[in-house]
Every structure is written in structure tokens, then in C-alpha cells.
Structure 1
Amino acid sequence: MAPMTAPLPLTRDLVLIGGGHAHALVARAWGMAPVPGVRLTLINPGPTAPYSGMLPGLIAGHYTRAQLEIDLVPLAAHAGARLVIGRAEGIDRAARLIHVPGRPPIRYDLASIDIGITSDLPDLPGFAAHAVPAKPLGAFAEAWERFVARARAGEVAPLVAVIGAGVAGVELALAARHRLAQAGLAPQVTLIDAAPDVLRDVRPGARAALMDQIAGQGVNLRTGAPVARIAAEGVVLQGGDTIPAHLVIGAAGARPQGWLAATGLDLTDGFVTVDRFLRSVTDPAIFAVGDCAHLAHAPRPKAGVYAVRQAPVLLANLRAAATGGRPGPYHPQKDYLKLISMGGKRAAADRLDARIEGGWVWRWKDHIDRKFMRRFHHLPPMGQPPRIPRGAALGVADLVGGQPPCGGCAAKPGAAALAQALADLAPPARPDVLRGAGDDAAILAHGAGAQVFTTDHLRAVTEDPHVMARIAATHALGDIWAMGASPQAALATVILPRMAEPMQAATLREILAGAQEVLRAAGADLAGGHSSTGADLTIGFALTGLVAGRPLGLDGAQPGDALILTKPLGSGTILAAAMQGKATGPELLAALEMMQQGQGQAAARLADPAHAMTDVTGYGLAGHLLSMLRASGVGAALDLDALPLMAGALRLSALGIRSTLYPQNAALASGIEGADPADPRTALLFDPQTAGGLLAALPEAAAAGLLDALGAGAARIGTVTAGAPRISLG
């Protein structure tokens, strides 16, 4: 027998806490040369991480948010990492667990912290209610854009106060003044500092250039002015003066993230103390880089340039720690070039005592910043199909195709293959099996009512086992809800990739926790199951549900019925695009969130008036609607413009992105009048859905009052018509 090849087992968990500059660079490099046997996880509060060097340009209006944000979703996919969206709030070093609210703890063998700093001023009265810190950058950028919009609309006066007249505060004050002036407003920007002198860490030449810009642009500089509190009307100084402001920005100093204090790690002024190998001096399994770290062997100020330079050393030392190699030291440079923005497209260089400034300095800075961001905006291609060896059997190339196989409900045989197989299946022989294969679930006799019984499983669409379990449970429940039944009990079937036993236990805990959350919310119990190992993570459930009366089915739709769909379409397209690195982080995360959205309440509202109901899954809206029409002996008219679509689905469909199950689904187009699969909206009719919505046929009179109750994702998409089981598009 020829030897079998299989992926190497996973033996180490490496967790990157935070999507800072160093971690982003590590993830990019990791994707090009991963360490076999290491499972990489990236934890970040949001799907993007802003690049701090371009923040003043964003505030000034020179850049868009997209230009300065690192999209962590394609970056994580490139690195083969699971991305966990959430803010870490603690580390249990004894159990080697990282705590993230709203989900089970995440196991680690090695962890690295790159969570940046905050310029929050929690001890300043009124700051939390009436001011915004400049860091973290994401929340500040959003607050700034809201303020600009309100100022342009005349809702607030363009009055801005910046607390802290260091380099960051000066850049932000000049940038804010420039943006508001360019908007045709008359801004009043005040820069406040408690010290009598400002820009003390800047050389005389750059300091002179910046001070001239402050004066020349009319920024009001208040030095020797300690702040007493922040009020709704502005900044109240200790002397009693009030500086009017409708936006107060905190840019004074750098504060550590508060949760680090409870980790038991050695901290210096609240920052993680690390040795020359970037390891915590307390725990060699934990590394820290960037602004959240303090270099015990060579203290340096907080600056992004050090995080960038730390990245290759961190990468090498994480590899060494995972493989038993020897770490190498990080030697920080003694000084670095500062290019300081001055509002408009002009900057000063702080390198020599000479005064170096001008538009050419800004263009120099702009070139450096854009070059850095190109590393993340243009990642190497992902998801290449496997190379076909010489001597492969006929047909292998056709099945491999031009893209890797999709997961979720797109990883199933086509409708034609399934129909051929079911054609030879004998009907139920037992009298208590009322209905067998062919509908969403089997129907068993159960007292005066019925019990419905179904099974479903999914190959993973995300590397996060907790999220995947929630999606798989929601998907499986769809068959129960589609029959008008109340979920009762579930058995789980889990196939884990080969991994070390502690990793197996941790992964199963995450899966079971996610599944139980969804099942308990639906009124069902997780009553047991089975597990095994295989090539890919696969999660499935066998489910029962109870119906007091007659279960709903595919048959029963009547001419004149309204067709209602409870969830938007597009998950197959978005998942396929994510595998190719073409879906944005927010698009993919919104799709994953939609796939976890339960349909219990919608099913309960639809069950009584509905004549027929099904869930829209792998065979797409067209396939599942045609099944209903054939079972009911009716036709349907669909309104393409009324189809609810997930964010990004139409854009990606227009790019020609299709799931690997799409060709088999599109073969159903012969049953659709006016279908043009080349049209991006029509193509989404054949898009395989994972944990898709319910499709119900119900009386017109009942439909009108239900849409508002079903939520924003639901829509009336067409009408059942008399005649042959065909779909006409309009």
C-alpha cells in the first residue's frame, strides 16, 4: 500500500495579543514561512489595526481610514491564523489561558503582547464623559469624523482643545485646524500643557519650525496651564479659566493598558518589563513589544519605529521558542529620525539641530508611510489550488479547478448528485417514521404531535472553533425551525485536526461552549456526541424537535402566497472571497455574525400562518425555492431588487467571485425564466448559504404585518403563482 500523507499534527499554541505594528509584521512573515505544528492565534478588539504614523494625515484629511488601517482578516488568513475579535482582559499564567470577554479562555504555550498604549486621563474629572483620548487610534478617529460632520452641519461650533503639547499633541492640533479650515469653517484650536515649555524632546531646528506653525496658523498655545477638569462646555484650568471646546482631545503622555497590572508580570510604570530577547523578565513564555513594553536593558521612548524594528527579532525568537532554538538579542538604535506633520502637506525633520522643513519633507514622510502600508494592502496571493502531480487520473484537474474547495455548506455534493442517490433510497418501512428523506427533516410519530429529526455538519469556514461551533449549531437548527418545530436535543459530532492532547481539550471546550450557547438559547440541550480526528475541523449535530400539530414541509405553498426570506444572501460569495483575500475584514466578520444569528423567534412567528417553509442553505435560494415549488406544484415570481444581501456580497459577485458549489447550483438556471448567471445579483440566487435564512410561503394578509417583527434582515422577495414549478424574475 502506498504511504499516506497528512498534515503534521499541531503541538504548540502561539497567541499574539494585539494587532500592533510588530505583530502585523510577524503575521505577514509567518504566512510566508510558518512553523509546522504551531497553531497561530491573533486577538484584537476590532478587525482592523490603524497605523499611527498616518494618524495626523487622517485628521488633516490627507488620508482615508482605509489607507491607514491594516485589515487583520486577510492578514490572519494569509498567516494561517485564527482571528479572535475581542479585547484581552487578563492572563492566567498558571493555567496558560488568555481571557477575552464573551468567549471561553484561549490556551497558549507562547504568547506575545503588542497592545499599544492609551492617552486616556482617567484621574482627570470629567474626562471620560466629555473628552476623547488620542489613543487607541480607532475610537479617536471615529470620534473625530463625527465631530467634523457635526461642525460642517452647523450643529456645533468648530472649537477644539488638545491637552498635551508634545509632538503628538502639536501634530493633532495643527491637523485639526487644517481640516476644519479646509471645510470652510473658522476653527479655534487651543493647545494646552501644564509645563512652561513645550516640545522639550525635539531639537532646536524642528522646534522652531513647529512653534512658527503654531503661531502662524492661529493655534492658541496655553503653557503652564494645569487642567482641573473637563466640563460639557470645555476645559476648566486650575486657575479657574475655561477654554471653550466642543471636542477635547487627550494627548498627554502614554499610559499602559490597565489589565496588565493583574498578570503578575514585572512591570515598569505599568509597562511589561522585557529582557534583550523581548521576553518578560518574569515569564519566558510571554513576550512583549511596541509601546506596551519596557526594554530593561535599553530603555527607549514610546515610538512606532521601535516596534517595527523589533518585529524580525520577535519573529525569530518566537520561532526559536516553538522549536527549541536559541533566541537572539534586540539591539535598539540610540536615536531615530522624526518626521513631524504640520497640518497641511508640510513637515519638519527632527534629526539634526538644523531647521529642516517643507513640502518635500512631507512627501518623504508620505512615501515612507505608504511603503509600510503596502506590505499589508498587497499581501501575497492566498488559497492556491494544490499542484496536480504527473500521472494523476483523468478528471483530477477538472475537480481541483482554479480555486481551493470552499467550506461550510458549500462543501457538499451538488443537488443533481444527491437527487440521483436518493432516488434509490427505499421509503420508510416503520409506521412511526411518517416521512423520510426529501424534506428538511425526518418526521417521527410522537404522541398527538410529531418529532422531527435531522443531522447536519460543516467543514470549518473560520479558524476560530468557538465561532465555528456557533455557526454549525445555528445551521443545523435551521432544519428544525423550518419544520415549525421547537428544538429539543442535540448530539454533536466533531472531527478535530490532529493535535497535542492539551490542545484537543482546549479546542473541544471552545466548541462545546459555543454549541451550548446557541442550543440553550434555542431551547435545546446538548445531550452528548462523538469525536474523532481528521484532516480538517468539522462540526455537526443530530437534532430532534417537537411539533404539537402537523409539521411544516416543502409542500403546501399556494398561489397568491407571499414569499418571505428572513436573512440576507451572500455568505458563500463572501467566504470564497475571503479565501482569495478579496473580502474586507468588516465584510467577513459581518457575514460570520449573520451566520450565528438564530432563527427561533422568526420561525415561531412564521410557523402558524406559513403554508410551507424551508431553510436556505447549500443549494442557494434558487435551489431551495425550486424544491418547495416542485413539492407544492406551483410557480413563483421573484423580485431581484428586493433580495436582501449581505454587505459586500454584490460587490464581490460583480468581481466574478463564486463558491466552488456555484456551478452545480447554477445548473438549476433552466428552471428560472429570465435568469442571467452573468448578472451579479442573479448569480447570488445560486450562492450556497451557510446558516442561511428561512424561506416561507404564507398568505398575503399575514405577510404585511410580519416583516417589521422579523427584523431588518427579512424581506418580501416574491409571490407564489399558479402553473409549472418555475421561477420568473422581475
Structure 2
Amino acid sequence: MMSLPLTKDLVLIGGGHAHALVLRMWGMSPLPGARVTLVNPGPTAPYSGMLPGFVAGHYSRDDLDIDLVRLARFAGARVILGAVDGIDLDARQIHLPDRPPVGFDVASVDIGITSAMPDLPGFADHAVPAKPLGPFAQRWAAFRDGTGPASVAVIGSGVAGAELAAAMAHALRDRSRDAQVHLVDRSTALAALRPRAARRLRRALAAQGVTLHENTPVAGVTPEGLRLENGDIIAAHFVTGAAGAWPAPWLAQSGLATQDGFIAVAPTLQSSDPGIFAAGDCAHMTRTPRPKAGVFAVRQAPVLFENLRRRLAEDGALRSYHPQKDYLKLISLGEKSALADRFGLAPSGSLMWRWKDRIDRKFMRKLADLPEMAPPPLPVPRAAGTSDALGDKPMCGGCGAKVGRAALGAALSRLPAPVRADVTPLPGDDAALLLTGGARQVMTTDHLRAFTADPVLMARITAVHALGDIWAMGAQPQAATASITLPRMSEALAERSLSEILIAAGEILRGAGAEIVGGHSSMGDELTIGFTLTGLCDRAPITLSRAREGDDLILTRPIGSGVIMAAEMQGRARGADVAQALASMSRPQGDAAKLLRDAHAMTDVTGFGLAGHLHGILTASGVGARLVLDAVPLLAGAEALAAQGVRSTLYPQNLAAIPGLAPDSPRAELLCDPQTAGGLLAAIPDGATKVRQLRSLGHDAAVIGCIAGDWPGHIEIV
């Protein structure tokens, strides 16, 4: 079936509950022609309903987190990891630090709230707001798992504060018998609950040992705890705030109509700008105001999904969201017990906990157990061998979708030898040496098909990947031309995409000392980005052929990106591991290359994997190597995925290209994992000193073995 050109940009700002559900629904019923982008500070979003259970120790952090990277892959959306700090309504652009603006036609905001208390002296320095949930969960886990005396103060005695206090008291019993938890409020506690539910919650707090301080204004937070307005001190090692809700500051500067800083929305969830919607706690429903509660975000999702589609298609009237007047509150009581509040009833106990646990886990399973969407059927009739060529899994992008070494070598062997005296091919290297007016110049080219839908991140990774050949030869990057193929899209989207790509790549290349001097663009089936680069050598280039007996082998960054990106394409990788791999690939290595300029031999580890590129050095130098398997740094999650049988499509060719190599463990198999923008591999004396210097610059470098023996190409794994 013919795919339609992209003509509209939908940007979802924030990974809140409504947007998570919209992504799931979008994956099941996408709107052809619309490009979807999710912008969120991190790869996961915590589910608020399970936070008290996490605080109490009943759930792990993985139980708590919604994996936005997997959801976005399912929805066919690109993910941008970053915190929005502004929006330009006239230019239709969303602003983030450290990247070009993101253009949009339709946008939606679901960024939640913060419970920080900007007007309370000392809170920013000595307390942890309960929202956003992610940073709070991390800080609490570190405190809970500590040792010694423990005292906690929770500011705000609404339902959220009471749940946190009860959960903290339960969790800290394992740390200290003398643990103290204080729940402090300037007014009457639990005023939002019906009297029966409030009485039962008070009894539960007392049973957990929580000290309740009502009508007790707080004057400030100090390193010792809370300073009250009457001059008393409540000692606390950990202070959090759950009183009230504050919107993100940039919303008030957005030009959108707001109510107390929250985006004012109509029943259609549209803001004052008809192309911008909002949902969840960051939105204020002007006609039917409701408290800040996750239940409303969840129920807004179907209406938001339908209205975003209709707005993008410019087709039909929008639906209205009608919130319920009363809703079920299931309140955690610290232990595996909960209190229900609805219709004036307030049952409590373990049965209520099991009910709440079942509801919460069902919600999380909905966002984790994504349905497998059937691929379009193959045409009939078709040429023989088509199914075999397609394979049983998608073609990996993490290895640049490279052709295998055998096919590439056979094709290159048919080229005639160069006849120009000023062009010197370097056998085994990916660059050539040119003599231009007496100056030594190296030239290389590299391109990648997109394995992440964010063009900015893809441009950065491709630039780092292409620069690897220049850095590995000890050259100084000089000039670059770009070759970009965009998927079919409108002129407006093409301009947005090209601007993002060129700005992002230009920053990486200029930071390395090179300039983009031109290039070529076209449209095709998918995004591909490539660069042809030149570099200047002030001395003989570093090649593959001068490694010496006794040299240490240094690797400047972890391996495993091929397995992780292959798993990501199959929906099997953890979003946090994918984010770490992408961050590793997009980090330049010019500073590392400068430290390694006295290497005897060096290469960059890319499509042929660590073992393949090491084999290239050994063969060219006529030596062997001893590789210490446990010393090879790995990206988080890579070994576990390899143990599950995940492989890049290039893995079999990489393994077959190295005679005698027989990996006997998942870790050993990763030696043949194809890398994108991988580390520099150097044969160099005194590797330990170089590694210390590299680590001081932030590189996760390691000595992984040494040059040993004169058996060309032989790799001994120990």
C-alpha cells in the first residue's frame, strides 16, 4: 500500500497519562500523513497511582514507570528527550534547551504539575517536592535504602500528603525502629474527604505512627528540618512537600489564556489557541473545574485522541469531555491496605488494597503489553526469494543497514587500482590519503538510515559516526558536504526537517573544527543522512598497520548499540537503555582522538563490530591480540538482550568474517555486534595512563587487552 506524504506535525508536550494513552491509541489507528512527536524530559514517566506503593516498598521503580520510548515506537512517533521551556504561537515553534526549535501544526500539553513551594524559604535548597514524581522517586529511594536514624516531614495534609506519610512510615520501619514521620499543615487535615473517610484515614495514620500537626504554619525549611512560625523546630532528615499544585512557569509566558498559571481549556480540551490542546493536571477546565487527579487525565484521553485527529484532518466538529461529578478515591494506608471513598461510604482493609492494586496493574499492563499490529500482506504473485530477502524481522538501522563485509570486499576488489599519484588508498581503512598542494588530507564518507525518528538526534549521531574515520587517523576535521534523503513530505515539513538536521549536524561538525560547505537533498522512502568529510594531517596519518607487540588496546566507549537498537525496533528494549545508547552515540570524540594521537594503530568501531575492527588492525599489522572479555565496557541492557537472543541483522556476517572466533556467551557475542558511532580502538603503549586521562574527560574508556603474538588476525579471548 502506498504511504502518504507527511503534511502535518503533531507535537505532544509531556508524557502524562493522557498522552501515554493517546500514543497507544495512535499506534492502533494512526492518521496517515501526520508526523507525531513526543517531547518529555526523560524516557519514562512515573504512574502517580502507584507512587505510594513504591514509597512503601511494595513496588519497584520499574513497576512505577511508563516506558515512553516503547510507546512512541508502537505509535510510529519520534521521541525528543528534553524539557520544554517555551512556545512561540506566531512561529508555531516549541523551544527546548540545546536543540533547534520544534515546529508544529497541532500541539497538546500534558506536563503535570510541581508541588515545589517557591514562596517557602529554604524549600528549594533543603526539600524535595513530591511532584514531578520522577525526581522525587529517585531521591526517596536513596533515602529509604540508607542506614541510621530517619525522620521525615511531609508538608501538606491532603490525601496525597497523607498517603506519602503513611507509606514513608511503613517503609522506614525496616531502617530504624525510632523512625519518625511528621505530617504538617497550616489548616485542618484531610478537609477534602467526607467525614467518615477522614476519620478512618486519621486512625490509619496514627496506627502507622505518623504525627499529625494541624493548624501549624511552616516558616521555612532548614538543613535540620522545619522551622515553624511559632519558633518551634520539627527535626527531619528528609522533607517533602505535597501541599497544593503549581504549574510550569513557562505556561504563563506562552501567550495562552491561563487560570492561576494553568492552561485554560474548553470542553473540547482546546486552549485559547485552537491548534493547542491541554490535558491532565496542567489544564484547567473552565466550565467544569475539578481537583487535580489522575482519573480525569485518563478519561480525557479518548476525547483528546479523537479531537487531535479531527483537528489535523480539518474534518468535523470536535467532541466535548464531560467529567464525572464524583469519582472513586482509593487511598493507600502504608501497609497493603487501602481506604475507598465514594458515595459517603469508606470501606478499608486489604480487600481495598487488592482492588486498587488490580486497577493500577491493569492500567500499566495496558501501556506495556502493546498489541502486535499485523504487517501489510505481501503482494501475490511475487518474485521467488522475496520472503527470504525480507527475513523474519525488520532490517536494523543501528548498524547503518550496512552490507556485509564479504559482499563489500568482493565488490571493492573489482575496482582498478588508482593511477593518480596524489591519491593513496589505505588498505583496511575507511578513508583515503590525498596530497593537495603539498598538504596531507584525508577524505571519507559515511551515511546512516534513520533508526530514531528524531532528525536532530539522528543528525548528531551521523556526524559523530562520520567523524570517526577522521579522528581515527589522527587528522583534524576540515570540511563536510551533506547528503540528506527525507521521506516524502510537504514543503513546510521538509523545511522544518532540513533546518533541524543542518543546525544539529553543524553544531557537532563545527565543534570538531569542520564546516558544512554544501551538499545534496532529495526525497525517498525513509530518512537517511550522510556526510563526506575531509581532514588535515600535520604528520603521517594513523593507520591500521603499525600495531606492535606489547601495545595496550584501548576502547573509548561501551559496545552494544546494535543489539539495543535491534531490540528497540522490535519493542523489546527498555526506554532508559535506548536513551543511554543514543546519548553515547551522539557524544563527539575529538578530545579523545587528541589524547590518542601517539597511537601506533587506531580505528573507529562501527558496522563490523569490535572483533571485526580489531581483526582489521591485527591483519594489517601482522600481529595477534589477547582480549580480556570482562574488561570490555558494555552499554546498559546489552548483555541481557543478547542473552534473550536479540541480534542485529549484520551479526552473522560479522561473526563469519573472523576465522576461529567462537563466542561462548552473550557477552562474547557482543564482540560481533555492529556499532554506530562507536568508540575509538587504539593500540598504544601505557594504556592505563591514557584511560585515566580519558575518564577525566568523561569517556567510559577501558584497557581491554593487548597486542600479543605474531599470528596475523588471531584474537585470543580470556
TM score, norm. by length of structure 2 = 0.97
Amino acid at match of 2:230: G
Aligned match of 1:368: 359
Aligned match of 2:48: 52
Aligned match of 2:693: 709
Aligned match of 1:92: 88
Q: Retained in 2: the 8 A contact 1:448–1:549?
A: no
Aligned ranges for residues 292-311 of structure 1 at < 5 Å?
A: 292-311=282-301
Aligned match of 1:485: 475
**Secondary structure, in 3 states, of the residue corresponding to 1:182?**
coil
Aligned match of 1:70: 66
Aligned match of 2:210: 219
Alignment of 1:469 with 2:459, yes or no, is: yes
Aligned match of 2:681: 695
Aligned match of 2:646: 657
Alignment of 1:260 with 2:246, yes or no, is: no
Aligned ranges for residues 110-125 of structure 1 at < 5 Å?
A: 110-125=106-121
- How far 1:560 moved relative to its partner? 2.5
Amino acid at match of 1:389: P
**Secondary structure, in 3 states, of the residue corresponding to 1:682?**
helix
Deviates more, 1:25-34 or 1:232-241: 232-241
- How far 1:448 moved relative to its partner? 4.8
Q: In 1, Cα distance between the equivalents of 2:558 and 2:79?
A: 24
Aligned match of 1:680: 666
1:187–1:415 CA distance, 2 compared to 1 (3 A) = same
Alignment of 1:623 with 2:612, yes or no, is: yes
**Secondary structure, in 3 states, of the residue corresponding to 1:349?**
strand
Aligned match of 1:426: 416
Aligned length: 713
Q: In 2, Cα distance between the equivalents of 1:439 and 1:363?
A: 62
**Secondary structure, in 3 states, of the residue corresponding to 2:18?**
helix
User: C-alpha offsets along residues 469-488 of structure 1, whole Å, 9 cap, x if unaligned?
Assistant: 00000000001111111111
Alignment of 1:398 with 2:384, yes or no, is: no
Aligned ranges for residues 510-549 of structure 1 at < 5 Å?
A: 510-549=500-539
Amino acid at match of 1:687: D
Amino acid at match of 1:704: A
**Secondary structure, in 3 states, of the residue corresponding to 1:443?**
strand
Q: In 1, Cα distance between the equivalents of 2:567 and 2:199?
A: 51
Aligned match of 1:635: 624
**Secondary structure, in 3 states, of the residue corresponding to 1:173?**
helix
Aligned ranges for residues 202-281 of structure 1 at < 5 Å?
A: 202-280=193-271
- How far 1:462 moved relative to its partner? 0.7
Aligned match of 1:723: 711
Aligned match of 1:188: 180
Amino acid at match of 1:110: V
Amino acid at match of 1:319: R
Q: In 1, Cα distance between the equivalents of 2:14 and 2:284?
A: 16
Deviates more, 1:713-722 or 1:106-115: 713-722
Aligned match of 1:147: 143
- How far 1:185 moved relative to its partner? 3.1
Q: Retained in 2: the 8 A contact 1:49–1:71?
A: yes
User: C-alpha offsets along residues 623-671 of structure 1, whole Å, 9 cap, x if unaligned?
Assistant: 2122222222222222222211111111111111000111111212424
**Secondary structure, in 3 states, of the residue corresponding to 1:348?**
strand
- How far 1:36 moved relative to its partner? 0.3
Q: In 1, Cα distance between the equivalents of 2:611 and 2:135?
A: 42
1:408–1:63 CA distance, 2 compared to 1 (3 A) = closer
Q: In 2, Cα distance between the equivalents of 1:386 and 1:267?
A: 45
1:710–1:381 CA distance, 2 compared to 1 (3 A) = farther
- How far 1:447 moved relative to its partner? 4.7
**Secondary structure, in 3 states, of the residue corresponding to 1:339?**
strand
- How far 1:349 moved relative to its partner? 0.9
Aligned ranges for residues 93-108 of structure 1 at < 5 Å?
A: 93-108=89-104
**Secondary structure, in 3 states, of the residue corresponding to 2:559?**
coil
Instruction: Report sequence identity in percent.
Output: 58
Q: In 1, Cα distance between the equivalents of 2:676 and 2:208?
A: 56
Aligned match of 2:494: 504
After the TM superposition, which parts of structure 1 deviate over 6 Å for at least 4 consecutive aligned residues? none
**Secondary structure, in 3 states, of the residue corresponding to 2:596?**
helix
Aligned match of 2:583: 593
- How far 1:718 moved relative to its partner? 2.1
1:475–1:355 CA distance, 2 compared to 1 (3 A) = closer
User: C-alpha offsets along residues 336-369 of structure 1, whole Å, 9 cap, x if unaligned?
Assistant: 0101111111111111323411111111111111
Q: Retained in 2: the 8 A contact 1:410–1:572?
A: no
Deviates more, 1:628-637 or 1:519-528: 628-637
- How far 1:184 moved relative to its partner? 4.2
Which segments of 5 or more consecutive residues in structure 1 lack a partner in the other structure?
Answer: none
Q: In 2, Cα distance between the equivalents of 1:389 and 1:499?
A: 25
Amino acid at match of 1:284: P
Alignment of 1:21 with 2:17, yes or no, is: yes
Amino acid at match of 1:395: G
